[in-house]
Protein backbone atom coordinates (compact mmCIF):
# COMPACT_ATOMS: atom_id res chain seq x y z
CA UNK A 1 0.00 0.00 0.00
CA UNK A 2 1.60 3.30 -1.10
CA UNK A 3 1.05 6.67 0.51
CA UNK A 4 0.38 9.62 -1.76
CA UNK A 5 1.45 12.98 -0.36
CA UNK A 6 -0.31 16.17 -1.35
CA UNK A 7 1.58 18.19 -3.98
CA UNK A 8 3.27 21.40 -2.92
CA UNK A 9 0.97 24.36 -3.36
CA UNK A 10 2.16 27.31 -5.43
CA UNK A 11 1.06 30.96 -5.25
CA UNK A 12 1.87 33.68 -7.81
CA UNK A 13 1.43 37.37 -7.02
CA UNK A 14 1.46 39.73 -10.01
CA UNK A 15 2.42 43.32 -9.12
CA UNK A 16 3.08 46.50 -11.03
CA UNK A 17 6.19 47.83 -9.26
CA UNK A 18 8.82 46.81 -6.72
CA UNK A 19 7.33 47.61 -3.26
CA UNK A 20 3.79 46.55 -4.24
CA UNK A 21 4.55 42.99 -3.11
CA UNK A 22 5.34 44.36 0.37
CA UNK A 23 2.43 46.81 0.68
CA UNK A 24 -0.24 44.40 -0.58
CA UNK A 25 -0.59 40.91 0.80
CA UNK A 26 2.90 40.56 2.29
CA UNK A 27 1.70 39.07 5.58
CA UNK A 28 -0.33 36.53 3.61
CA UNK A 29 2.81 35.73 1.66
CA UNK A 30 4.88 35.26 4.82
CA UNK A 31 2.19 33.02 6.32
CA UNK A 32 2.09 30.72 3.31
CA UNK A 33 5.87 30.62 2.98
CA UNK A 34 6.04 29.52 6.64
CA UNK A 35 3.54 26.76 5.82
CA UNK A 36 5.67 25.46 2.95
CA UNK A 37 3.81 27.02 0.05
CA UNK A 38 6.06 28.05 -2.85
CA UNK A 39 5.46 31.74 -3.54
CA UNK A 40 6.63 33.76 -6.54
CA UNK A 41 6.17 37.44 -7.36
CA UNK A 42 6.07 38.63 -10.97
CA UNK A 43 6.95 42.34 -11.06
CA UNK A 44 5.75 44.03 -14.24
CA UNK A 45 8.04 47.10 -14.23
CA UNK A 46 11.23 48.27 -12.57
CA UNK A 47 9.61 51.30 -10.98
CA UNK A 48 12.20 53.45 -12.73
CA UNK A 49 9.83 56.39 -13.27
CA UNK A 50 8.53 56.34 -9.70
CA UNK A 51 8.97 59.15 -7.23
CA UNK A 52 11.17 59.09 -4.15
CA UNK A 53 8.41 59.00 -1.54
CA UNK A 54 10.66 58.91 1.52
CA UNK A 55 11.14 62.57 2.45
CA UNK A 56 14.45 61.73 4.11
CA UNK A 57 15.92 60.74 0.74
CA UNK A 58 14.24 63.22 -1.61
CA UNK A 59 17.14 65.68 -1.60
CA UNK A 60 19.83 63.09 -2.22
CA UNK A 61 20.99 63.43 -5.87
CA UNK A 62 22.57 59.98 -5.79
CA UNK A 63 19.17 58.45 -5.10
CA UNK A 64 17.61 60.11 -8.12
CA UNK A 65 20.58 59.28 -10.33
CA UNK A 66 20.49 55.58 -9.44
CA UNK A 67 16.79 55.08 -8.76
CA UNK A 68 16.34 52.08 -11.05
CA UNK A 69 19.32 50.25 -9.52
CA UNK A 70 18.25 51.17 -5.99
CA UNK A 71 14.76 49.82 -6.53
CA UNK A 72 16.15 46.53 -7.80
CA UNK A 73 18.35 46.28 -4.73
CA UNK A 74 15.39 47.07 -2.49
CA UNK A 75 13.38 44.36 -4.21
CA UNK A 76 16.17 41.87 -3.62
CA UNK A 77 16.15 42.66 0.09
CA UNK A 78 12.35 42.39 0.34
CA UNK A 79 12.46 39.12 -1.57
CA UNK A 80 14.91 37.74 0.98
CA UNK A 81 12.79 38.89 3.92
CA UNK A 82 9.62 37.34 2.50
CA UNK A 83 11.31 34.10 1.45
CA UNK A 84 9.98 34.21 -2.10
CA UNK A 85 11.24 33.89 -5.64
CA UNK A 86 10.70 36.79 -8.01
CA UNK A 87 10.81 37.53 -11.74
CA UNK A 88 10.86 40.81 -13.66
CA UNK A 89 8.51 40.95 -16.63
CA UNK A 90 10.60 43.77 -18.08
CA UNK A 91 8.00 46.42 -18.92
CA UNK A 92 8.80 50.14 -18.66
CA UNK A 93 7.32 52.07 -15.75
CA UNK A 94 4.65 54.57 -16.84
CA UNK A 95 5.20 57.02 -14.02
CA UNK A 96 2.09 58.77 -12.74
CA UNK A 97 1.26 61.78 -14.94
CA UNK A 98 -0.74 64.42 -13.12
CA UNK A 99 -2.43 67.64 -14.16
CA UNK A 100 -5.48 69.00 -15.94
CA UNK A 101 -5.57 68.20 -18.75
CA UNK A 102 -3.85 64.92 -17.91
CA UNK A 103 -0.63 64.61 -19.91
CA UNK A 104 -0.13 61.49 -22.05
CA UNK A 105 1.92 58.55 -20.88
CA UNK A 106 5.49 58.42 -22.20
CA UNK A 107 6.11 56.37 -25.31
CA UNK A 108 6.82 52.72 -24.56
CA UNK A 109 5.20 52.85 -21.13
CA UNK A 110 3.60 49.74 -19.65
CA UNK A 111 0.26 51.51 -19.42
CA UNK A 112 0.15 51.79 -23.23
CA UNK A 113 0.78 48.11 -23.96
CA UNK A 114 -1.74 45.93 -25.75
CA UNK A 115 -2.77 43.66 -22.86
CA UNK A 116 -3.34 40.65 -25.13
CA UNK A 117 0.21 40.90 -26.45
CA UNK A 118 1.81 41.91 -23.15
CA UNK A 119 0.18 38.97 -21.39
CA UNK A 120 2.50 36.63 -23.28
CA UNK A 121 5.36 37.30 -20.88
CA UNK A 122 3.16 36.39 -17.95
CA UNK A 123 1.81 33.30 -19.73
CA UNK A 124 5.39 32.05 -19.90
CA UNK A 125 5.83 32.57 -16.15
CA UNK A 126 2.53 30.84 -15.37
CA UNK A 127 3.32 27.81 -17.51
CA UNK A 128 6.78 27.44 -16.02
CA UNK A 129 5.80 28.04 -12.38
CA UNK A 130 2.34 26.39 -12.60
CA UNK A 131 0.64 28.25 -9.75
CA UNK A 132 -2.53 26.97 -8.16
CA UNK A 133 -3.53 30.53 -7.17
CA UNK A 134 -2.78 33.95 -8.70
CA UNK A 135 -3.39 37.33 -7.09
CA UNK A 136 -3.42 40.79 -8.65
CA UNK A 137 -5.41 44.04 -8.47
CA UNK A 138 -9.05 44.69 -9.30
CA UNK A 139 -10.26 46.29 -12.53
CA UNK A 140 -9.38 49.78 -11.27
CA UNK A 141 -5.90 48.71 -10.27
CA UNK A 142 -6.65 49.07 -6.56
CA UNK A 143 -6.18 52.74 -7.33
CA UNK A 144 -6.13 54.23 -10.82
CA UNK A 145 -2.40 54.13 -11.54
CA UNK A 146 -1.97 53.22 -15.25
CA UNK A 147 0.52 50.46 -14.42
CA UNK A 148 -1.79 48.93 -11.83
CA UNK A 149 -4.71 48.95 -14.26
CA UNK A 150 -2.54 47.33 -16.95
CA UNK A 151 -1.27 44.80 -14.41
CA UNK A 152 -4.89 43.76 -13.82
CA UNK A 153 -5.57 43.51 -17.54
CA UNK A 154 -2.58 41.36 -18.43
CA UNK A 155 -3.13 39.09 -15.43
CA UNK A 156 -6.74 38.40 -16.33
CA UNK A 157 -5.72 37.78 -19.93
CA UNK A 158 -2.78 35.55 -18.97
CA UNK A 159 -4.94 33.54 -16.54
CA UNK A 160 -7.17 32.67 -19.50
CA UNK A 161 -4.50 32.34 -22.16
CA UNK A 162 -2.14 30.13 -20.14
CA UNK A 163 -4.84 27.45 -20.04
CA UNK A 164 -5.40 27.49 -23.81
CA UNK A 165 -2.97 25.17 -25.65
CA UNK A 166 -3.60 27.04 -28.90
CA UNK A 167 -2.27 30.32 -27.50
CA UNK A 168 1.43 31.03 -26.95
CA UNK A 169 2.53 27.44 -27.74
CA UNK A 170 6.16 28.63 -27.65
CA UNK A 171 5.78 29.16 -23.90
CA UNK A 172 5.25 25.52 -23.03
CA UNK A 173 2.34 23.24 -22.16
CA UNK A 174 -0.95 24.84 -21.11
CA UNK A 175 -1.60 25.30 -17.39
CA UNK A 176 -4.97 25.99 -15.78
CA UNK A 177 -4.57 28.00 -12.59
CA UNK A 178 -7.40 27.14 -10.23
CA UNK A 179 -8.16 30.53 -8.66
CA UNK A 180 -7.67 34.26 -9.32
CA UNK A 181 -7.95 36.82 -6.52
CA UNK A 182 -7.87 40.61 -6.24
CA UNK A 183 -6.11 42.34 -3.33
CA UNK A 184 -8.72 44.34 -1.42
CA UNK A 185 -7.25 45.17 1.99
CA UNK A 186 -7.51 48.95 1.62
CA UNK A 187 -11.21 49.26 2.39
CA UNK A 188 -13.21 51.61 4.59
CA UNK A 189 -14.44 48.97 7.07
CA UNK A 190 -10.86 48.16 8.07
CA UNK A 191 -9.96 51.84 8.37
CA UNK A 192 -13.00 52.53 10.55
CA UNK A 193 -12.11 49.70 12.94
CA UNK A 194 -8.50 50.83 13.28
CA UNK A 195 -9.55 54.46 13.77
CA UNK A 196 -11.95 53.46 16.53
CA UNK A 197 -9.27 51.49 18.40
CA UNK A 198 -6.78 54.31 18.02
CA UNK A 199 -9.24 56.78 19.50
CA UNK A 200 -10.00 54.39 22.39
CA UNK A 201 -6.28 54.49 23.19
CA UNK A 202 -6.26 58.29 23.05
CA UNK A 203 -4.28 58.33 19.81
CA UNK A 204 -4.96 60.56 16.83
CA UNK A 205 -5.70 58.82 13.56
CA UNK A 206 -7.75 59.69 10.52
CA UNK A 207 -7.45 57.69 7.34
CA UNK A 208 -8.29 59.33 4.02
CA UNK A 209 -11.86 58.85 2.91
CA UNK A 210 -12.19 56.49 -0.04
CA UNK A 211 -15.10 55.84 -2.33
CA UNK A 212 -16.84 52.56 -1.61
CA UNK A 213 -16.00 51.32 -5.07
CA UNK A 214 -13.60 49.62 -5.64
CA UNK A 215 -12.83 49.47 -1.92
CA UNK A 216 -16.22 48.15 -0.89
CA UNK A 217 -16.33 45.69 1.98
CA UNK A 218 -19.21 44.03 0.16
CA UNK A 219 -16.89 42.79 -2.56
CA UNK A 220 -14.71 40.82 -0.18
CA UNK A 221 -14.91 37.04 -0.17
CA UNK A 222 -11.72 35.88 1.53
CA UNK A 223 -10.14 36.87 4.85
CA UNK A 224 -6.69 35.40 5.54
CA UNK A 225 -5.73 35.59 9.22
CA UNK A 226 -2.06 36.54 9.15
CA UNK A 227 -1.54 39.04 11.99
CA UNK A 228 1.37 36.96 13.31
CA UNK A 229 3.23 37.95 10.15
CA UNK A 230 2.54 41.70 10.23
CA UNK A 231 6.11 42.28 11.55
CA UNK A 232 7.51 40.46 8.50
CA UNK A 233 5.32 42.59 6.24
CA UNK A 234 6.63 45.75 7.93
CA UNK A 235 10.25 44.64 7.58
CA UNK A 236 9.70 43.98 3.87
CA UNK A 237 8.10 47.41 3.50
CA UNK A 238 11.07 49.10 5.17
CA UNK A 239 13.37 47.38 2.68
CA UNK A 240 11.92 49.72 0.05
CA UNK A 241 13.66 52.74 1.55
CA UNK A 242 13.08 55.07 -1.39
CA UNK A 243 9.33 54.46 -1.18
CA UNK A 244 8.60 54.00 2.51
CA UNK A 245 9.48 56.36 5.35
CA UNK A 246 9.95 54.20 8.49
CA UNK A 247 8.48 57.09 10.50
CA UNK A 248 5.71 57.75 8.00
CA UNK A 249 1.99 57.00 7.74
CA UNK A 250 2.42 53.34 6.79
CA UNK A 251 3.49 52.71 10.38
CA UNK A 252 1.28 55.25 12.17
CA UNK A 253 -1.00 52.60 13.70
CA UNK A 254 0.80 50.57 16.40
CA UNK A 255 1.31 46.95 15.47
CA UNK A 256 -0.70 45.64 18.44
CA UNK A 257 -3.71 47.72 17.40
CA UNK A 258 -3.47 46.46 13.83
CA UNK A 259 -3.28 42.86 15.02
CA UNK A 260 -6.25 43.27 17.35
CA UNK A 261 -8.33 45.54 15.14
CA UNK A 262 -8.08 43.82 11.77
CA UNK A 263 -5.95 40.66 11.83
CA UNK A 264 -6.67 39.60 8.24
CA UNK A 265 -5.60 40.54 4.74
CA UNK A 266 -8.60 40.57 2.48
CA UNK A 267 -9.33 39.49 -1.08
CA UNK A 268 -12.04 39.15 -3.67
CA UNK A 269 -12.27 35.77 -5.39
CA UNK A 270 -12.65 36.72 -9.06
CA UNK A 271 -12.43 33.30 -10.75
CA UNK A 272 -12.46 29.78 -9.34
CA UNK A 273 -12.17 26.55 -11.27
CA UNK A 274 -12.70 24.51 -8.08
CA UNK A 275 -15.65 24.33 -5.67
CA UNK A 276 -15.34 26.58 -2.64
CA UNK A 277 -17.60 28.17 -0.04
CA UNK A 278 -17.79 31.91 0.58
CA UNK A 279 -16.60 33.43 2.86
CA UNK A 280 -13.17 31.79 2.77
CA UNK A 281 -10.26 32.01 5.19
CA UNK A 282 -7.68 30.49 2.84
CA UNK A 283 -6.62 31.31 -0.73
CA UNK A 284 -6.25 27.55 -1.23
CA UNK A 285 -9.78 26.65 -0.16
CA UNK A 286 -10.95 23.85 -2.40
CA UNK A 287 -7.38 22.86 -3.26
CA UNK A 288 -6.17 21.20 -0.08
CA UNK A 289 -6.66 17.47 0.61
CA UNK A 290 -9.78 16.60 2.58
CA UNK A 291 -8.61 16.19 6.21
CA UNK A 292 -11.28 13.51 6.72
CA UNK A 293 -9.82 11.31 3.98
CA UNK A 294 -6.66 9.34 4.88
CA UNK A 295 -3.66 10.14 2.68
CA UNK A 296 -3.44 6.59 1.36
CA UNK A 297 -6.96 6.99 -0.08
CA UNK A 298 -6.19 10.24 -1.96
**Structure confidence by residue, pLDDT tens digits, 74-102:** 999 999 999 999 999 999 999 988 888 88
**Is 295:289 a contact under the CB 8 Å cutoff?**
yes
Domain architecture of the chain: domains with CATH: 10-187+217-253+265-284 (3.40.50.10320)
**Structure confidence by residue, pLDDT tens digits, 215-232:** 567 899 999 999 999 999
Q: Which residues are annotated as a binding site?
A: 17, 20, 148
**245 DSSP 8-state letter:** -
* Phi, psi for 217 (deg, rounded to 5): -60, -30
Instruction: Report the phi/psi class of residue 168: left, alpha or beta, with left for phi > 0 and alpha for psi in -120 to 50.
Output: left
User: Is the bond preceding 101 in cis, omega lying within 30 degrees of 0?
Assistant: yes
- Could you give the angle at the alpha carbon of 79 between the alpha carbons of 20 and 172, nearest 5°? 85
Q: Which residues are annotated as a binding site for Zn(2+)?
A: 17, 20, 148
Measure the CA–CA gap between 175 and 195, rounded to whole angstroms: 43
pTM value > 0.85: yes
Average pLDDT over residues 193-217: 73
**Structure confidence by residue, pLDDT tens digits, 254-263:** 999 999 999 9
Residue 290 confidence class, pLDDT cut points 50, 70, 90: low
Amino acid sequence: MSVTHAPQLRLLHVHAHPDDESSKGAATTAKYVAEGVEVMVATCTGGERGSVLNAKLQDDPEVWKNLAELRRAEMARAREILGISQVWLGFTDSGLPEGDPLPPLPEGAFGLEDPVVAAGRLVKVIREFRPHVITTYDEQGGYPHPDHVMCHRITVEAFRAAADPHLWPEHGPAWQTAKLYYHMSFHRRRYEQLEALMHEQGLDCEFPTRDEDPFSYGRLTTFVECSEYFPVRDEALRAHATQIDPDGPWFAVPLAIQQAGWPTEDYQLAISRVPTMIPEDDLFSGLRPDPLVPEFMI
